[in-house]
Structure 1
Amino acid sequence: MAAPPSVRLTIADGPRAGTAPAKVNYARLDARLARLVEAKDMVGLGVAVVENGELRFVKGYGVTTAGSDDRVTANTVFRWASLSKGVASTLIGKLADEGKLSLQAPVSRFGTSLRLPGGSERVVTVENLLSHRLGIVKNAYDDKLEEGIDPRVIRTALGGLDRYCAPGTCFAYQNVAYDTASEIVRSVTKQSYQDAVKQRLFTPLGMNSASVTRDGLMRAQSWARPHVGRRTVPVDDAYYRVPAAGGINSSVLDLGTWMRAQMGQAKNVLPRRVLDTIHRPRVSTASARKRGTLFDRELTDGWYGLGWRDYQYVGHGIVGHRGAVRGYRSMIAFDPKTRDGVAVLWNSESAKPVAIQLEVLDAMYRRPFKDWLELDTKKKG
């Protein structure tokens, strides 16, 4: 499937032949996003909106580096952070569909470096791995990864932890352990994880800006520098060393292309049966969300599939994920039934753009407008 044109697509351009009238007021959305990026804790932003399976709006806002005149465009490359997990699960789901592995196979069958308390790597399945049901504490040893320790060494050390719960019975989000997926891919395909992802997913989908390494980000013709506040910081390489958990980069244009594929718009690459397998809820995350913000609780009935989260929003099923690494944030949310959704990448640690999904989804569902971005809401006190 060829990549869509690398330009902004809005209602102002007029609906294309055979395309239904837009449900989103793109002129208003455009104006609101331009205001959002002017916030003190914002630098650059890329947004893609898909309606009825078609990419209808793609645009960049702000700058790649605070204080510069280098504008973010639809082709500017950002980090995906934990949106990368959906790439790993999609690839493994595709390999399973091709009969190259079983999701019910124990992780130990693939000769990985993962060790778990009590030797449960011999029991834990690939499905358990991709749904964060390994029986160990949340984010186990992320600190050691950030200290520069080889993730393979860390995965082996996980065997010395106390058991958090019986394997397969509870949700505890992982990064280092989740990257066992990259070792499984290498074992099955006899390719590097980077080559397998590119050959089997990115190239067939026409995602020409997408890459799996730090160099891939920094060699892009236009790439967004990471920021803490408005201070530019170095690109941290820790999570590139666990590529299945946090190593993907691309433009928002290509993230929009990825979202279309996850909606079933690239059946020659991702058959519906693969998507149904990876999106299907496996384990409840509702207890964790009860401790979240009021905004988080708008997306109810939280579950985790394989590399993807599942929610309910005003009676509609939503598939998505959010990501965060130093200096970058990311978000994707879509309705697989209506094939509507929004994807957002930004190069700061602001939480504000997360609200874009609700403004877009409200428009998709013909709900009254609400100022979720709080651009017009006066703060109390």
Structure 2
Amino acid sequence: MPTWVISWLTPLLLWTVWFNATAQPADLSLPAHQLSRQIDSIQKVHKIPGLQVLVFTKDSLLYQRYAGFRNSKAKTPVTAQTLFPVASITKSLVAVAALMLVQEGKLTLSDEVEKLAPEIQIDNPWQATAPVRIAHLLEHTAGFDDWSFKAYAYNNPRVSLPEGIRLNPESRHCRWQPGTFMAYSNAGAPVVARLIEKKTKQEFESFVRQRIFLPLGMQHATFHQNGAALTDLATGYVGADQQEAAYWHLLARPSGGLNVSALELMPFVQMLMGRGAFRGQQLLAPALVDRLETPRTSLASQAGCQQGYGLGTFVTAYQGHLLHGHDGAGKGFRAHYLYHAGLDRGIIFLINTDGPSFFALRDAILQRVMQSVPPHLPPAYAFSKAQKEAWLGYYRPGYFRTAKTGWFLGLTELAHVEEERGQLMLYDGLGSEPTPLRPISPQQVLRLEKRGYTPSLTLVHDETNRPVLVRAFGAGLSANALIKTSLLGAWLPVVLGPLCLLLIVLCVLLGIGWLVGGIWRQRQGRRSSAVLVRTSLLVYGLSYLTMVLVLAGGGDELGVRSLPSLLVFAGSLLGPLAALSALISLLRSYQQIASRSSLIFMIMAVSSALLVVGYMGVWGLIGFQTWA
């Protein structure tokens, strides 16, 4: 057997041995009292209005906690029956529903979407050689953009699935070849749900109720604000001041419209833990549950990565153990389910607020549930010198979840892999602490994080042969992949970005001073120099500063014609015009500027303004209509 084959197979065989070993059940003791105290402490510190927490096996409930209020104003307590919007957890149900049709021979995961639903507009430049398939939609590897501001702002309870799909065609643009890189998108699940409707001749929600809700006893689960969701639905709260959030009627409910209690979601998770079986019913074949949990359609998965996004589920790696599940984030809600079939443990927690409380709660529950389980890291792999050097260097974000956020992330995110005393270390973010890396194959390492998480990094090459560092899903939601770059390519944007922002702020502050001083000098009968340059720089600074601040604030107002969205639009037009005006005025009047320091500043400010305008133009942010 050739040497290169042996070197490739060895880490794969070691990984297989390790993975099978982790599938052996363990004797887990659950410290219920300690867990309750920790949950209560987190709820108090983070001011979580209400929560539901369950820990269970595939056959029984081990722990349950219902605390706080589903409505803080009315002081209505959270009970076992309280429904929570669980947002993107809905995608797991879409995947299971699709696999049920695969099981019946009505669909295959390799089916081309265009052939099944030619009426659904998909812009795929690679259609002839790499068509979008069902598996790509469920694994988020079609290259689709995420929903636009307009789609997120949509709030109509009567919208049908075909209409919701038709209203948001811009997200279904393949930004790279399908089947290469994963980028989370809410645009894929509705298309799969529509394919289910076409094959079954019934509405998706009706199919889910008949084939999933009823067999699992999820009698109160609903996709609408009706039934139990009218009488016992938790109210969401947003922001540090815990403002009440209105119910969100999604543009396409298969992306995240499910309302359910933790107690009724539990049978769904138990069915997955039981490899498709629940109380004597075999809803899904074990092989299909395995496929649900396994990413296969990305370059990272083809390189052996198991910590990606499968079919409507993703992996959370904790001390080497791979837990499957999904989370959800809505307006004023967070939700998560996790399970490990081999250890026979499942977790569900739902809260009616957003923010860092979600992560604190997740960390605490996982730590308590897994504390009696010894770490089970895969065997370390010894890098050759060439293999190690392939990892070293700087990486900038690429393959963004949302195309329009790339301009910002490209200026603020930077990763660096270096060797320190024989140990590979990752600096993931400016000013971040180093994280040790454990090689497990030539193309994979594990991050050994202090909190116990062990997410993977996979090194692959894109179509232009650039090295790309792929994060485990969840470790880089906005940009799941990082593209290797040079030292100059790494630091130039990081330095120029803040410098240009500083000059924008100075243009505003000094511009106001220039304006006031100019008025005063005019009253004194004195003339100011370079008035048009100064005024243009003030308008430029105000335009882009307003645009950035409004975009940072977010909100549904950006998805419709409103004051915030019009301010962004106006700023994206006035900024370039003012920068051009400043350049022309400076060229005409620079000899009249007596102060050398003023001239130097104006040259710097105009140069940075032109750089900013060019950068925004590359990202399509001139004349930016957030509501379009």
Q: What TM-score, normalized by structure 1, do the two folds share?
A: 0.79
* Aligned residue in 2 for 1:359: 364
Contact 2:28 2:372 in 1 (8 A): no
Partner of 1:279: 293
**1:79 match:** 85
Q: Which residue of 1 aligns with 2:113?
A: 107
**Residue equivalent to 1:117:** 124
The 3-state SS of whatever aligns with 1:195 is: helix
List per-residue Cα deviations over 1:169-201 (Å, max 9, x = no partner): 110111123311110110111110110000000
Residues 327-338 of structure 1 aligned to structure 2 (within 5 Å): 327-338=332-343
Which of 156, 161, 165 aligns to 1:152? It is 165
C-alpha displacement of 1:254: 1.1
Partners of 2:76 and 2:196 lie apart in 1 by 38
Cross-structure match for 1:38 = 44
Contact 2:84 2:261 in 1 (8 A): yes
**Residue equivalent to 1:310:** 315
1:311-341, Cα deviation, whole Å (9 max, x unpaired): 3221211112111111111111111211212
Q: Tell me, in whole angstroms, the C-alpha distance in 2 between the residues paired with 1:40 and 1:212.
A: 29
- The offset of 1:67, in angstroms, is 3.2
Q: 1:136 aligns with which of 140, 144, 154?
A: 144
2:196 counterpart of 1:171: no
Three-state SS of the structure 2 residue aligned to 1:167 is coil
Task: Give the letter for the 1:352 counterpart.
Answer: S
Contact 1:86 1:307 in 2 (8 A): yes
CA contact (8 A) 1:281 1:310 kept: no
Is residue 180–residue 298 contact of structure 2 (8 Å, CA) maintained in 1?
Answer: no
Q: Does 1:346 align with 2:358?
A: no
Q: CA deviation at 1:82?
A: 0.6
Deviation at 1:301, TM superposition (A): 6.8
* Aligned residue type for 1:126: I
Gaps of 5+ in 1: 1-19, 287-299, 373-381
Mind listing any 5+ residue stretches in structure 2 that lack a counterpart?
1-25, 156-162, 375-449, 452-628
Deviations 1:78-104 (A, max 9, x none): 011011110000110111011111111
Query: Where do 1:1-381 residues align within 5 Å?
Result: 23-51=29-57, 53-111=59-117, 113-118=120-125, 120=127, 123-137=131-145, 139=146, 141-148=147-154, 150-158=163-171, 161=173, 163-215=174-226, 218-219=229-230, 221-229=231-239, 230-237=242-249, 239=250, 241-264=251-274, 265-266=277-278, 267-282=281-296, 302-362=307-367, 363-366=369-372
The residue type equivalent to 1:319 in the other structure is H
The answer to whether the 8 A contact 2:50-2:69 is kept is yes
Aligned to 2:307, the other structure's residue is in SS state strand
Tell whether the 8 Å contact from 1:66 to 1:232 is kept in structure 2 after alignment: no
Deviant stretches of 4+, over 4 Å: 283-286
More helix by share: 2
% identity of equivalent residues: 26
**Counterparts in 2 of 1:156 and 1:67: CA distance versus 1, 3 Å:** closer
How far, CA to CA, are the matches of 1:136 and 1:104 in structure 2? 17
Partner of 2:329, secondary structure, is: strand
How many pairs were matched up?
332
Quick one: distance in 2 between partners of 1:242 and 1:212?
Answer: 10
Task: Provide the C-alpha distance between the structure 1 equivalents of 2:66 and 2:116, rounded to a whole number of angstroms.
Answer: 42
Aligned residue type for 1:46? Q
Tell me how far apart the structure 2 counterparts of residues 313 and 22 of structure 1 sit (CA, whole Å).
15
CA gap of 1:154–1:282, structure 2 versus 1, over 3 A, is farther
Contact 2:245/2:332, CA 8 A, preserved across alignment: yes
CA separation of 1:170/1:40 partners in 2, compared to 1, >3 Å: closer, same or farther? closer
The separation in 1 between residues aligned to 2:29 and 2:287, in whole angstroms, is 29
Letter in structure 2 aligned against 1:113: I
- Give CA-to-partner distance per residue, 1:147-187, whole Å, 9 cap, x none: 3395322443446x4x4211111101111233111101101
Moved more, 326-335 or 116-125: 116-125
Question: Whose relative contact order is higher, 1 or 2, with alpha carbons under 8 Å and at least 6 apart?
Answer: 1
Please, which moves more after superposition, 275-284 or 168-177?
Answer: 275-284
- The amino acid that maps onto 1:208 is Q
Q: For 1:53 and 1:338, locate their aligned partners in 2 and report how far apart those are by CA, in whole Å.
A: 13
Asked if structure 2 preserves the Cα contact closer than 8 Å seen for 1:114 and 1:177, the reply is no
Tell me, yes or no, if the aligned pair for 2:39 and 2:364 is still in contact at 8 Å.
no
Q: CA deviation at 1:117?
A: 2.9
Contact 2:56 2:62 in 1 (8 A): yes
